[in-house]
Amino acid sequence: MMNNKVENEDNQMDVEEKEIQESNQKNEQNQIEEKNQEGQMDKINNEDPDDVESELMYIYEWVDSIELSRPKKNIARDFSDGVLLAEILKNYFPRLVDLHNYPSCSNSKHKESNWNVLNNKVLKKIGIKLTKNAISDIIHCQHLAIENLLQKVYTVLQINGVMNKTQKKSNFNLQENNSNILRKNLEEKENTIKQLHDIVEVLEFKLKNSEEMEKILENKVQQLTDLLNKNGVNPEN
């Protein structure tokens, strides 16, 4: 009995040591990820601003090409609550994103809640893991924090070929929308032409009636003139 008890205690200690080791490994991994992200941000921040803007121009153009629920004015503030990024990811991974989970907000705690959900339910599944510091930087609109994340998302989309598929779909939708617009414009022009044609017909009808009335009046005048002449009355007198 004592041997079994000792053996169970040893096994329990082994399990606890294993859990501690795994926990330490996770902490070390998180620290490495934080340092890598901080190193990337330091590298970006130390670059010439014009060079950074030039490198990120394709990111801004990509974001501008996507229709979002609110206009994009200041990218750091616009994306600080995670809602717009959720909308972008919804375009590419519709099954992963439920937009009801990301309410628009201005409170920092609510913003953090949005980002934690987005981080665990979506970003993690596509190979991106945000650290607490990275989330805090985005929430507080730190310089180039959201651009750094958008750059990672863009890279993941390209690597997985999702970007091209969605772009083709967007191009198809754009062509379809353009066709619908052209068809609608053509219908409006046809309606305008029909209305003008109807107006012309009415005017022609009125003109024809006017000419006929003029002829009737002329005949009446001529009849009266003939009658006066017949009775020896000079109409000019």
- How far is CA 142 from its chain centroid? 24
Q: What is the spatial distance between Cα 92 and Cα 38, in angstroms, rounded to a whole number?
A: 27
Predicted local distance difference test score (pLDDT) of residue 227: 76
Give me the pLDDT at residue 211, please.
79
- The yes-or-no verdict on residue 128 having pLDDT over 90 is yes
Name the residue with higher pLDDT: 146 or 176: 146
- Give the up-direction half-sphere exposure of residue 27: CA atoms within 13 A in the CB hemisphere: 6
* Overall average pLDDT of the 220-224 stretch: 79
pLDDT at 10 over 80: no
CATH superfamily for 37-160 is Calponin-like domain (1.10.418.10)
Mean pLDDT computed over 146-159: 92
pTM, to two decimals: 0.52
H helix intervals, 47-161:
49-64, 75-78, 83-92, 108-121, 132-139, 145-159
Residue 4's pLDDT is: 52
Of these ranges, 4-18, 32-46, 62-76, 171-185, the one predicted with the greatest mean pLDDT is 62-76
pLDDT tens per residue, range 176-208: 555 667 777 778 888 888 888 888 888 888 888
Mean pLDDT value across residues 20-45: 50
Q: Is the pLDDT of residue 153 over 60?
A: yes
Phi/psi for 200 (5° steps) reads: -60, -40
pLDDT band at 215 (very low <50, low <70, confident <90, very high): confident
The packing angle between helices 108-121 and 132-139, to 10°, is 130
Mean pLDDT of all residues in 30-56: 53
Cβ neighbours of residue 58 under 8 Å, at least 6 residues apart? Answer: 154
Looking at per-residue pLDDT, the higher value among 232 and 119 belongs to: 119
DSSP states along 208-221: HHHHHHHHHHHHHH
